Structure 1
Amino acid sequence: MREITLPAGLARVAFVGPLFRFALHGDMPVGIQRALLNVLSRVQFMPEGSVVQHLQLGGRPAERIFAEAAIPTSRTNAVPPERAAGAVLYLHGGGYVVGSLATHRSLVARLARETSCAVYNLDYRLAPEHPFPAGLDDAEAAFLDLVNNVGYRPDQICIAGDSAGGGLALALAQRLRDNHQLTPCALGLIAPWGDPRQPPTADRDTILNRKWIARCAADYLGDADSSEPGYAPLATDLTGLPPTYVQADVDELLHEQCAQLVAGLREAGVHVRFTETRGLWHVAQLQAALVAEAALTLSGLADFLREAIQPVSIEDLR
C-alpha cells in the first residue's frame, strides 16, 4: 500500500496524541487497551515486498519478517534469509502489559527491509497475567533457540526493542553475559525503559503518562523483589555489553533514563551511539509509514544494526 506522509507536528497533535492519550489511559482495563492498540496498528502499513512467516521461537509464537529478495551476504548479492549474515531479535514495547506481534509488525518489517536481514518479532508473555521474569525468560529462550536450533552464532544476532522492549533487550544482554557467557552482535534500543522503579519527572508526554507507567511497573513486578537482576537493567552492571544504539526524543518522559543509560554505558567502556530528536514522540518509529521524520529515525537504527552485522569489507567497496 502507498505510504501517506504527514507533517510530524500535525500527526502528533491531530492523530498520535489524542489516540494514545485515550488508549493508554491509566484507568482503562488492560484487555481493552490491547484490543485498541491492535486496531490502531492497521494504519501502520508494512513496506511492499515484506514476507511474514509464523513460527515458534523459544516455545512462544513469533514472526520472521524479511524483505523479499533482499537478504544479502554483502551489499550486492541476495540470498534466502536462512543464509543471511545475521538476524535481529526484536522485543516490542508496551509497558510489559500491552503490545503484540500486530502492533509492531510494520516497524519490524521496515527494520527488516533496511537491515537486509530477517527480523524475529517475539510474542513474549505479558503482565499482569505473567509478571517478571516471564517476559525475560521468553526472550532468553528465543535467543538460545536462534543459536542452538536455527543456527546463528551469538555474534550474528542483534537484539533490538522499544520502550519496555528496549529495557527487556538490555536485561537479556545482561543475562546472556552472566548466565551463558554469550554476547550478541549489538543492541538497538528505542527509548528503553531501563528502570521501572524510577518515576517520571513530568506528568505526561505525547504518548505516556505517569499513572499508566506506575500501573505497568507494578503489574510487571507482581510479587517479585524489584532488586532482582533483570527488573531494572539500568541499575545493573553495564560492563561487557555489545555496541549499543540508543534513541529518544528530548521531550519524552523516558529521555532522562535514556541519558542515564548512555552515560552508564560509556563509563563502562561500551561503544554507544545516542541520537536525540526534537518534535517527535515516544517510539515515533511506529508511525514511520506516516511520518517522514520517524522513518528517518528508524533508518538510523537500521544503519547501526546493519553495520554491526555486516561490516563493510574491501569487496563491498569495489
Structure 2
Amino acid sequence: MSTFTLPLPVVAFLLKPYFRLAFNSRLPYRIQRILLEAGAPLQQVPAGAVVRPLELACRPAEKITVGVTERPTAVLYLHGGAYTLGSPNTHRSLAAHLARESSSAVYTLDYRLAPENPYPAALDDAVSAYMQLVTEFDYEPQRVAIAGDSAGGGLAVATALRLIERHGVHPGALALISPWVDPGDRSAGKKADLVVNTAWSFDAADAYLGTGDRTDPGYAPMHGNLEILPPTRIHIGSEEVLYPQVVAFADKLVAAGVDVSLVEYAKLWHVAHAQASLVKEAADAVADLGQFLESKLGHTEGSSTASADATPH
C-alpha cells in the first residue's frame, strides 16, 4: 500500500484532540477502544507487507513480513494502550514498518486487556507467545527480540525478566518505545502531553493492577533484577509525561551493566512511531529501532545510528 507524508506540526495538531477524546477516563473502556480502533485505518502498512492472521498463546495474533515471507529472525511486538486498549489492528502499521526495517518477521499479539483481565493476564499471554515462537515455530531464542510501546514496552521488559528467571530463555534484544515500566508511580512531573494524560493512565494502571502488588516486577519491571536483561534500545520524547520515568529506568540499566542505549526525541510525541506512514521523522525513528534489532539478531554487524533530531545517550 502506498504511503504519503505530512509535516510533523500538522499531524501533531490533528492528533491532539483525537487523543484527548479517546484517552478519557470518564468514558467506558468499550468506547475508548472503539475510538482508538477507528483511527487505525489512517496508518498504512508499507508496500510489500504481508499480514497473516494466526494464534499465539491461544490468542489472536498476526505475523507481518515485508519482502521475504520466511525469516530466520523474529520480533514479538506488544502493543501499547495502558493495558486497557489497543490490538494488532491499532499497531499493524508500526509493526509492519518495524518488520521492513529489521528484516524480521514481526508477530503482534492480542493479549488480554484489563479491567476484564487484570494482571498477570497480559504477562502470561506474552510469555506463552514467546515460548511458542521458540518451541513450536523453531526460532532460536537469541534470534527473537521483544519490542513494545508504552504499556507494551513495560510488558516487553516484564516478559523478558520472566522468560529468563523462570524458563532460562534469553531473548535476543529489547526495543522499547516510551516504556511504562512503573505503572504504580504517581510522581509524574507533567499531567499531560500531546497523547497521554495522567487521569487516564492512572485509572488504567489501577484497572490493570487489580488486587496485585504495585512493586511486583511483573507489573512494574522497574523494580526487577535488571542486570539480566539483553541488549536494549529505548526511545523517548523529551516532552512526554513518561520522560522522567524512562530516563530513570535507563540510568538503572546502565548501573546494572546492561548494554543499553537511550535516544531522546525533541520533536516526536508519545509513540509517534505509530504514525510512521504519515510523518517522516516517525519513520526515521522506526528505522533506527529496526537497524538496532537487525544488528543484534544476527543479520549484520555494527550498531544503529540515531536520527537527525534525536539525542543518543
Q: Shared topology, TM-score over 0.5? A: yes
Q: 2:241 aligns with which of 253, 261, 265?
A: 253
Whole-angstrom distance in 2 between the partners of 1:310 and 1:21: 41
Q: 1:198 aligns with which of 185, 192, 195?
A: 185
TM-score (norm 1): 0.92
Tell me the residue number matched to 1:118.
105
Contact 2:82 2:151 in 1 (8 A): yes
Whole-angstrom distance in 1 between the partners of 2:216 and 2:173: 24
Residue 225 (structure 1) shift: 2.0
The alignment partner of 1:260 has SS state of helix
**How big is each residue's C-alpha offset from its partner over 1:248-300, in whole Å with a ceiling of 9 and x where there is no partner?**
00000011111011101111110111111112100000111111111111111
Residue 68 (structure 1) shift: 2.9
Q: 1:313 to 1:99 in 2, by over 3 A?
A: closer
Which segment is superposed worse, 90-99 or 113-122? 113-122
Whole-angstrom distance in 1 between the partners of 2:7 and 2:225: 41
Residue 228 (structure 1) shift: 2.6
**How big is each residue's C-alpha offset from its partner over 1:175-199, in whole Å with a ceiling of 9 and x where there is no partner?**
0111011110000000000001112
1:228 counterpart = 2:244: no
1:219 counterpart = 2:218: no
The alignment partner of 1:286 has SS state of helix
1:296 counterpart = 2:295: no
Contact 1:85 1:309 in 2 (8 A): no
Residue 17 (structure 1) shift: 0.8
Whole-angstrom distance in 2 between the partners of 1:3 and 1:311: 27
**How big is each residue's C-alpha offset from its partner over 1:192-241, in whole Å with a ceiling of 9 and x where there is no partner?**
00001112221100000010011111000011222333111012110111
* Amino acid aligned to 1:147: V
Whole-angstrom distance in 2 between the partners of 1:167 and 1:145: 21
* Amino acid aligned to 2:260: V
Tell me the residue number matched to 2:151.
164
* Amino acid aligned to 2:53: H
Residue 313 (structure 1) shift: 6.1
Q: Unaligned 5+ residue runs, structure 1?
A: 70-79
* Amino acid aligned to 1:10: V
1:267 counterpart = 2:255: yes
* Amino acid aligned to 2:197: N
Whole-angstrom distance in 2 between the partners of 1:163 and 1:204: 15
Count of matched residue positions in the alignment of Structure 1 and Structure 2 = 301
Which consecutive aligned stretches of 4+ in structure 1 deviate over 3 angstroms post-superposition?
Answer: none
Whole-angstrom distance in 2 between the partners of 1:168 and 1:313: 28
* Amino acid aligned to 2:2: R
* Amino acid aligned to 1:17: K
Identical columns (%): 46
Contact 1:86 1:157 in 2 (8 A): yes
Tell me the residue number matched to 1:95.
82
* Amino acid aligned to 1:157: V
TM-score (norm 2): 0.94
User: RMSD of the TM alignment (CA)?
Assistant: 1.2
1:38 counterpart = 2:16: no
Tell me the residue number matched to 1:240.
228
